[in-house]
Amino acid sequence: MARLGAEEIEERLSRLDGWSRQGEALVREQRSTDFLGSVEFVNRIAPVAEDMGHHPDLAISWDTVTVTITTHSEGGLTDKDFTLAERIDALS
């Protein structure tokens, strides 16, 4: 799993919905109706993350979940990060 180059990162980022690059991570904020909506969104991400063996950081603050994805072992963004982001997009 190699780190992606800057050009490929830009290209793949442009195809995602609502994600931004923050340093070596992909970040997206998902708004829900309330706290339980946020917990439900986390529960929908969990099986996807388990299936991929790739786990985002998830921060719940009331009606918002901030999803942060990176490949720690590579110290940067890889194909797996974008695939996880795409699968999370498909949930919402």
DSSP per residue, 36-73: HHHHHHHHHHHHHHHHHT---EEEEETTEEEEEE-BGG
Q: Is 73 in the site for a second copy (CB under 8 A)?
A: no
Q: Contact between 49 and a second copy (CB under 8 A)? A: yes
CB of 32 to a second copy, least distance (A): 12
C-beta of 58: minimal distance to a second copy in Å?
Answer: 4
Decide if residue 1 touches a second copy (CB under 8 A): no
Provide the minimum distance between the beta carbon of 47 and a second copy in the complex, in angstroms, as a whole number.
9
Binding site for a second copy (CB under 8 A): 35-36, 39, 42-43, 46, 49-50, 55, 57-62
